[in-house]
Chains A and B, each alone.
Chain A
């Protein structure tokens, strides 16, 4: 079974630039999550999708971050414009369904450095 795929693996940009990350969850997984993990901290949920609908985006900085999952499969997360404090690893995860959150499968992450 293929795991969660993410790209790119690494990205370096300057502040005020834009960046986009892509995620393809495990086939058949209805729920998709985007997390931000700052060095030395645990993952923080940014947004959760159930199929192509948003379940929770309470911690997404909506003035600069946006995410979509148009066909209920893969998803993109965008930052525009980026700030220095956005330097982090952006993890995508998926689970079979919203009520099986305890078992989430994570992708390798995208390491973002904002200069």
Chain B
């Protein structure tokens, strides 16, 4: 079977650091993507981890541990505009013809 777990809500203050965790169980796995979606907006690609370890893109970093079926998104120097929903999405192997799986997402609220 397939399952995906993220916290439903996270609250933090401006300037802080927040970590959004993601645990997954999938029948096949190639990598882990992260998407951001502002209220009323479209999901926007943030990052992708194909290998274990940390990928850094500006204030955002994403981590993957294949052995633990676990990843996280790290947001530093939080800004009000970071208030949004964040989705982790396991990527299936090409030869399995699978589909990106989006969970319920984590709603991040950044307070002043």
Residues of A in contact with B (beta carbons under 8 Å apart):
40-45, 48, 55-56, 91, 93, 98-99, 101-109
Contact = CB atoms under 8 A, between A and B. Distances in A.
A5 to B, nearest CB: 12
A102 B31 contact: yes
A56 B42 contact: no
A101 B44 contact: no
Nearest to B93: A99
Contacts of B45: 102-105
Q: Which 7 A-B pairs have the closest CB atoms?
A: A42-B102, A99-B94, A106-B42, A102-B48, A102-B33, A102-B91, A45-B99
A44 B42 CA distance: 13
Contacts, number: 52
B102 A101 contact: no
Interface string B73-112: 0000000000000010101101001111011110000000
Contacts of A45: 99-100
B1 interface: no
B: contact size bracket: 20 to 34
A108 B41 contact: yes
Contacts of A102: 30-31, 33, 45, 48, 50, 89, 91, 100
Contacts of A56: 97-99
Interface in B1-58: 30-31, 33, 41-45, 48, 50
Interface of B: 30-31, 33, 41-45, 48, 50, 87, 89, 91-92, 94, 97-100, 102-105
Given A55-B97, A101-B99, A102-B31, A41 B41 contact: no
A48 B97 CA distance: 10
A46 to B, nearest CB: 10
Contact of B92 (A43, A101, A103, A108): A101
Nearest to A40: B104
